[in-house]
Amino acid sequence: MPEFDPHTHSIASGHATSCTITDMAKKAVSLGLKMIGITDHGPATPYSCRPSYFRNLSFSPRERFGIEIMIGAELNILDNGGSVDLDHDILKHLDYAIVSMHPQTFKPSTAADNTAAYIRSMKHPNVKILGHCDDSRFPVDYDALVKAAPDTATPSSCQATAMGRNISEIFAWRLL
C-alpha cells in the first residue's frame, strides 16, 4: 500500500469529486496514507481554479488529521512548446506540479510532438510528475520521457496508485 497519493483533486477542480481538502485528509487516514498532494487543475481547464486559488493554497494548513498535505497543481500543457497554464510567480510557492495533456486544452498530435511537449514542460523546476501519459489520445515515447528526465526537474519513473484507483504515470520526484 502506498503511503502517499500525489495526484488528487478537490471540489475546486470543478469535476470528478465533491470532496473538500478536509474530506480528502479524512479519507487518507482511512486508507492508511501518511501524505496527500492537492493538485487541482490549472486555470485552462474549464470550470476549474483561477490563479488566485493557487496563490491562496500556499497559506492553507499543511497537516490535517495527522496527514501531511503537500500543495501543487495539475498543470495543462497548452501547446507543443510545453507552455503551461500557471506562471512561475505562482508555481514557485507550490511544493510541486504535475503536467498533463487534456483534450480541452491540448490538441492531440503525433507521439513525437506529444513527447516533445512533455519534455519541454518538464523543464520547469516545479514539475515533478508527468500525468496521464498513458492516455491513448496522446501517444508518447516512454523511453524518450525517461531518458529526458535526468536533464530536467523530473528525474525517474514508477507506478502510482491513488486513493483506490490505479493510475499509470511517469512519476518522477526530485524530492522536496
Alpha helices in the chain (DSSP H): 21-31, 51-57, 88-91, 111-121, 142-148
pLDDT at 160: 38
Residue 38 one-letter amino acid: I
* Range of weakest confidence among 96-105, 136-145, 150-159: 150-159
Q: How many CA atoms lie within 13 A of 156 on its CB side?
A: 7
Q: What is the rounded distance in angstroms from the CA atom of residue 123 to the CA atom of residue 87? A: 14
CATH 3.20.20.140 fits 4-171, yes or no: yes
Of 5, 150, 174, nearest to 74 by C-alpha is 5
Pairing of strands 4-8, 35-41: parallel
- What is the average pLDDT across 103-117? 94
pLDDT at 153: 66
- What is the average pLDDT across 12-28? 87
pLDDT at position 50 over 50: yes
Q: What's the predicted TM-score (pTM) here?
A: 0.85
